């Protein structure tokens, strides 16, 4: 069955530190891959997406993600986290059926 997993429910990092959020999926073929961010009381905003081509994709707000077919992963990274990055992050995969992971809540320490 198709599924998407975000293994980390909650991550805390210090401001200025690097960040990696994990996403793994199980699909019959390589699906479309997305990362969204949701700030408290806000809707979901698209950070980046992967359809094909270069496996390292750049997004907004300094985020990037790398698609690794062999690991069925699409991890989100940022070299230096800002306090404003504190939010909930969702990985999404699929074709017509877009499925979301359970989310990873990011806390940024001053």
Partner 1 sequence: SQTIHQWPATLVQPVGSPLSLECTVEGTSNPNLYWYRQAAGRGLQLLFYSVGIGQISSEVPQNLSASRPQDRQFILSSKKLLLSDSGFYLCAWSVPVGSGNTIYFGEGSWLTVV
Binding site for partner 1 (CB under 8 A): 6, 9, 32, 34, 36, 43-44, 46, 49, 51, 90, 92, 94-103
Question: Dihedrals φ, ψ of 85, to 5°?
Answer: -80, -10
Smallest separation (angstroms) from partner 1 to the CB of 33? 11
Contact assessment for residue 37 and residue 87, using Cβ atoms and an 8 Å cutoff? yes
Residue with Cβ nearer partner 1 (22 or 49): 49
Percent helix, strand, coil in the chain (nearest 5)? 10, 55, 40
Which is closer to partner 1, CB of 78 or CB of 101? 101
Q: Residue 95 CB, nearest distance to partner 1 (Å)?
A: 5
């Amino acid at each position: 069955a198709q599924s998407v997993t975000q293994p980390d429910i909650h991550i805390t990092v210090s401001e200025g530190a690097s960040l990696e959020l994990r996403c793994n999926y199980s699909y019959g073929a390589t699906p479309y891959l997305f990362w969204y961010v949701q700030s408290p009381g806000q809707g979901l905003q698209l950070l980046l997406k992967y359809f094909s081509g270069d496996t390292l994709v750049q997004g907004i707000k300094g985020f990037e993600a790398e698609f690794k077919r062999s690991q069925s992963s699409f991890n989100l990274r940022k070299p230096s986290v800002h306090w404003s990055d504190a939010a909930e992050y969702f990985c999404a995969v699929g074709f017509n059926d877009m499925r979301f992971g359970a989310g990873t809540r990011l806390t940024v320490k001053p």
